[in-house]
Amino acid sequence: MSIRLYHNPRCSKSREALALLRGRGVEPQIVEYLKDAPTTAELERLLKQLDLEPRQLMRRGEAIYKELDLDRPAVSRAALIDALAANPILIERPIAISGERAVIGRPPQKVLELL
C-alpha cells in the first residue's frame, strides 16, 4: 500500500499520524510540505481528493491568514489557492493520500481510514 503524507515534523498531530501508520507497518512517502511546497496544480488535485474548498484546507489561526485578510468573502478561489502555495504554513496537516483518496489527519486516527 502506498500512502503519501504531507507532514510537518514539528506538529504533534502530524507526528502522531506518522506513528500510527508506521505502527500498522506502513512506511509512507513523506512530503515535508513546508520545505517542498505544493504547486497550485497539486493543491487543486488535493482539494478535489479531499472534496474541500480552499478555505476548508486553511489553518485560520495562523498569523499570515489574518495578515493577508483571507477571511474576506471577496477573495477568489484562485487567490486562496495561490496563498496556500505561497504560504504552505496555511495548509492544514497532516494530509494522507492513497490513490485517489485523501484525508486530513484531524484527529490523527483519520489517516487509518486509508488502510
Regarding beta strands 4-7 and 29-32, do their DSSP bridges make them parallel or antiparallel, or are they unpaired?
parallel
Angle at 44 between CA 43 and CA 49, to 5 degrees: 95
To the nearest 10°, the Cα dihedral for 56, 59, 63, 68? -30
User: Which residues are tagged catalytic?
Assistant: 11
Give the whole-angstrom CA distance, residue 115 versus residue 91: 23
